[in-house]
Structure formats: structure tokens, C-alpha cells
Structure 1
Amino acid sequence: MIRKALKRWMARHASGWRSTRHLEARLRFPGMDFHEALIRVTYKRVFGVWPDLETPRTISEKMCWLKINDRRPVCAEITDKYRMRGYAERLGLGHMLNDLHAVWDSAEAVDFRALPDAYALKVTNGSAWNVIKRPGVPIDEGAARRRLDLWMNTNMADHKGEWYYAASPSRIIAEHYLDNGGGDIPDYKLFVFNGETRFVQFCEGRYQNLRSIFMSPEWEPLPFSYKMFKPFGPPPERPAHLEEMIAAARALTEGFPLVRVDFYVHGGRLLLGELSLNPVGGYTVFRPDDWNLRIGDWLDLPDKASLAA
């Protein structure tokens, strides 16, 4: 109990010092930008070797390079779950956005009684900071409010060095609850490299018994997976909206080296979930191991000068 309380206090008041990773980053690389130092230390903890950020080759090295060097304001816009909506609307893709019930600037302001029976509350400048209210299931409003308040006051950028999470204001949005009848809804995560969808991650059972498989744009199983996932079994059915997903993803990612674009299909309608610049925070561990390098070869990094322009 004391340990959990300490973690909560550290997350709220000292997120940049909350683990041995943070301490090592500060002590090993004094004078270096903290998030760059944290990126280097976290990479070493995950892969067992220091990243080569001068001539990056693996997909994770290249994502770490982008976290350090691509500081364009638009990166913060597309990774913020509320601001991303305006970005999609400007591209003529507002019809793909899930229905929005409300937006608040604090957990205290959340009006639970103004919401429908089921909804999803999301803190907009973080990852996986969600409270899901399912149909007919009571919600502990006090506990939900405390959780949201903690997230609102935690700097997500200090977790894996993703600077853009600290560049958008903290908000809470309430979105329409998505459920195709089984208590869950599959999602399709398109990995777009330099404007081209290279593969699609299909996920189902996100709340329990998570399963995931990587498919080609032609919807054929690919011979790699994340280290954490078990064999999927028979591949999922090809989605009817696949070509529409690929076209929308191309429009949404123009001008970006790498973006993961998440989609859902709800009631026959294609919906845009979110945009991620660094899937898994930039520390993807593919198996077999050689795919970390092979996938890295698919990504062409821009010149630093073009990112600063």
C-alpha cells in the first residue's frame, strides 16, 4: 500500500524521477536533454545494447531517432486525441471520427450524469489512459475521477521520452462507446512508412485474452510478431473497408516518415481511432529478431534540416 502511494505521488509530483531509468538517465548523461537521455537508457534496458543514433538501422533505433529529432508542432497535434480530430477534419475525414459527447479541462469538471449509459473517457495527451463505462455496468464515479485526475497531472512524456505528450494541454474527452456485440471491438493498426502501408496489426480481445497478428496490405499473414504475442491461429477475415483504410491512412500521414493509424469498424462504419508516431513508445521487439532490422530497412529517415524547416 505504501509503495503504491509513493508511486502515485511520484507520478504526480516528480514524474521525471520516478524510476531507476530516470535516475540513470540523469546521472549517466548529465547535460544531455533529459528525454534523449531517457530514450537511450530505456533502449538499453529493452534490447541490452545502446542504440546507434548516428546511423540507426533497426526500426526501434529509427523511431528513437525520430523522437529526438522530429520536434515539429504538428507531431503534438496529431498525437493528441482531441486536437487530432481537427487535423482529420481539415483533411476531409471528419466523417470517420467517433461521436464526441463532451470535453473537460479537469477531472473535477466531468459530469457523469450528462453522459449516456455507456461511454469511453480518455485523457487526450497520454497513452492507454482510458476509463470504459460498459452498458448496464455501474461505475464508481469517485474512483474514476481520481484515476483521471492522476493521469491529468502526470507527464506522459517522462515515461518513454515522447516529448509531444507534454506539448498539448491535458483534457478529458467522452466518446461514444464502441461494441459490436461481444463486449469488445477489433481494431486495425496500419503501419505507414513514408506514405505506404507496409503492414496491418489486427487486434481483438483487448480487454481480456488479447490476440494480435500482423497482416500484409494484401491481407496475408506475415512471418513476424511482437515478442509478447502467442501464435494467433487461423488469420482473421479480410475487412471490407481495407482499401478505404489504406487510402485514409495515406492522406493522414502525408509528410510523416512513420505513423501508425488505428481504425475500428462499428456497425458497418469505418472509424478513425488515433495516430501514433512511436508504436510501443518506440521500443518494438519483433520476433524473429532479424525482423527488427528488416522492418527498419523499410523506413527512410528525413534529413534533420527538413525537420527543422
Structure 2
Amino acid sequence: MLSFLKLIRRKLYMAIARPIAKRLPYSDRGDRWFYWHHFFTQHDRWPGKRMLFNDVLYRIKSGPEIVSPLRLKTTDKELAKEFIAERAGAKYNVPTIAVLRNKEDIDKFDFPEDCVIKPTHGCGGVTILQGGAQPDRAALAEQLTSNYYYAARERNYRDLTGKLIVEPLLFQGHDVHDFKVFCWKGKARCILYVNDRNVAFYRQLYDTNWSLLPIELSPYGIDKPNVDRPLVLQEMLEVAEKLSAPFDFVRIDFYIDGKTLLVGEITHCHWGANDRFLSLDDEKALSRLVFDET
């Protein structure tokens, strides 16, 4: 009976609130109302002051910290490389072939035979070129004027300058797996492994000793083979702690190929505070691991 009433409450809320949320203005106040609504639709609870994983990220996302100068700088994929070089060393940066700042740069640039093109001011929108393929230059020019804030209301993207960064295709185009280190107050707490999204997307959580954690993140119910301990695990954790030191919560993302360790990006609000767990107990377990300061 309780679950049925909960379902009815949710449907009534969605029917009334969703049309209103879509019309909220793009402003700090409108964004906060939108976050509050969206949090409920994702987690079936209101955000609070508890040290629950998504609640902590919600407070970062909706408060002034998300637009602090250093978070803004490290959201920009070009400027983040300056920060990474200063705090950990330039060798951990993915090499930059070029930064294209306007349509003229795009039109005249001779793209390498194999490369990756990313907007520095957004999330996604990646173009991969292989075997001498040529990009859609008009589509790339359109990316310069896109603003990820209007798609996701993540305020750290709102005032970034539109640019495209051209990088080499890593690891000769082999499968690229992500290792994302969750850090809290300068300490690495756990690692999220993400399988190559173009092969068979799944995610697993490991502690800093590379023991698999029994915490279920979506997608659920699929076969998730254990992953070998990275050879550069200790180095990865050390670099993550150097980069995370100025922040409370932050996620440091890495690409690894054998002994090669590169920082992919610095992520300030993991999944926009909307990641889904199989159960509240799973979220509590991760929260204890990440935020326990004893």
C-alpha cells in the first residue's frame, strides 16, 4: 500500500511540477528551483543537509562554490591543463595539437589523420577522426556558440568561452577505459571504473586498495567482470590528491594504458548530483566511504 501511495504522489507531483520547471528562468534563483525539482524526480526524495552522496553534490551544485574561480578554470578543458601542469606535472596532460577559437581557425586548420576534437566549454560533443576522415566543419563551428548551461543548467559552464581543443587519438584507437577518482578534502576515497562506452557500458566501484565494492550503480543486473588492478594505481591516487587539494568534493578522471597515466578532466559535480544507486543503502555505503573523516 505504501509503495502504491508513493507512486500516486510521484505522478501527481510530476503532472503539476514538470510543466512549471520547464518554464523556470535561466537565473540563479530559477536554477535552484529547477535543481530542487529535478533532484526529486531522480531520487524520489528532497535534498537535505545529510552527508548523503547526492545531497552533498547537490549543495555544491546549487551553492556559490560551483562558480568559484578555480572551479570555473578547471571546468574549461584548456585552462584545466594549466592547473594540472602546475600541481602534478605537464606529463599527465593529454597533448594539445591545437585550440580552435573561431570559425576561421576551423576552416583553415589541417586536421591530423587521427585525432579527437572536444569543446572545452561543454560536456560531450566529442568528434573522433580516424583514417584521414574529414570533420563537418560547419557543425564544429556551431559548437563554438553552444552553451552547455542551457542544456543541463550546470552553472560552472555558463560563462565559459567557446573553443575546440584538438588532441591525439589516445592509445592507437584501442578501447579507452575511464578511471574516476572520488576525492574529498584532498584525499582519494574510491575509484569508479567505467568500461569503454562504445563496447559494453558498465560501471564498478573500487576502494583505494582496488577491492571491488558491493555498491550497485546503474546500469543494474548486467555481468560486470572484475577488472585487473591498474599498474599505476598508486601514482593515480597521488596525482588525484594533488589535484583535489583545493576543493571539497571533486572527481579526477584518468585514462590508463599500461604504465601510461593521463588526466582526462576534472569533474566538479559527478552526474550533476543525479547518479542512481540500486538502493538507498548503496548510496549510504558510498557516502560513508567518501565523507568519513575519522
Instruction: Give the structure-2-normalised TM-score.
Output: 0.83
SS in 1 for 2:54: helix
In 1, Cα distance between equivalents of 2:235 and 2:244 = 14
Using the TM superposition, give the Cα deviation of residue 257 of structure 1 relative to its aligned residue in structure 2, in angstroms.
1.1
Q: Does the 8 Å contact 1:25/1:34 carry over to 2?
A: no
Mapping of residues 251-290 of structure 1, within 5 Å: 251-266=242-257, 268-290=259-281
1:211, 1:230 within 8 Å by CA — same for their partners in 2?
no
Equivalent residue for 2:170?
A: 178
- Mapped partners of 2:150, 2:287: distance in 1: 25
Give the Cα separation in 2 of the matches to 1:198 and 1:297.
Answer: 10
| Compared CA separation, residues 241 and 43, structure 1 to 2 (3 A) | same
Q: Cα distance, 1:114 vs. partner?
A: 2.0
Using CA pairs under 8 Å that are at least 6 residues apart, name the structure with larger relative contact order, 1 or 2: 1
Which residue of structure 2 aligns with residue 138 of structure 1? 133
The superposition leaves residues 226-257 of structure 1 with CA deviations (integer Å, 9 ceiling, x where unpaired) of: 22244443311111100000000000001211
Cα distance in 2 for partners of 1:208, 1:296 equals 30
Matched, 1:239 2:230: yes
Q: Is 1:62 matched up with 2:56? A: yes
Q: How much does 1:170 deviate? A: 1.2
Between the aligned partners of 2:267 and 2:106, the Cα distance in structure 1 is 26
Which residue type is aligned with residue 37 of structure 2? V
TM-aligned CA distance change 1:293 to 1:112, over 3 Å: farther
Runs of at least 5 residues in structure 1 that lack an aligned partner in the other structure:
1-19, 302-309
Matched with 2:146 is: 154
SS in 2 for 1:252: helix
Query: Does the 8 Å contact 2:190/2:207 carry over to 1?
Result: yes
Aligned 8 A contact 2:252 2:266 in 1: yes
Distance across 2 between alignment mates of 1:299 and 1:67 = 17
Q: Which residue of 2 aligns with 1:14?
A: none
Q: Secondary structure at the match of 1:197?
A: strand
State TM-score, norm by structure 1: 0.80
Unpaired runs of at least 5, structure 2? 1-16
Shift in Å, 1:194: 1.9
Q: Could you tell me how far apart the structure 2 residues matched to 1:230 and 1:236 are?
A: 17
Q: What is the alpha-carbon distance in structure 2 between the residues aligned to residue 30 and residue 250 of structure 1?
A: 34
The yes-or-no answer on 1:49 pairing with 2:45 is: yes
Q: Percent identity?
A: 22
1:97-148 per-residue CA deviation (whole Å, 9 max, x = no partner) reads 11111001135532575222111100011111211113x2634x33xx3433
Q: How many correspondences in the alignment?
A: 274
Alpha-carbon shift at residue 153 of structure 1 (Å): 2.4
Confirm or deny: 8 A CA contact 1:85 1:97 kept in the other structure: yes
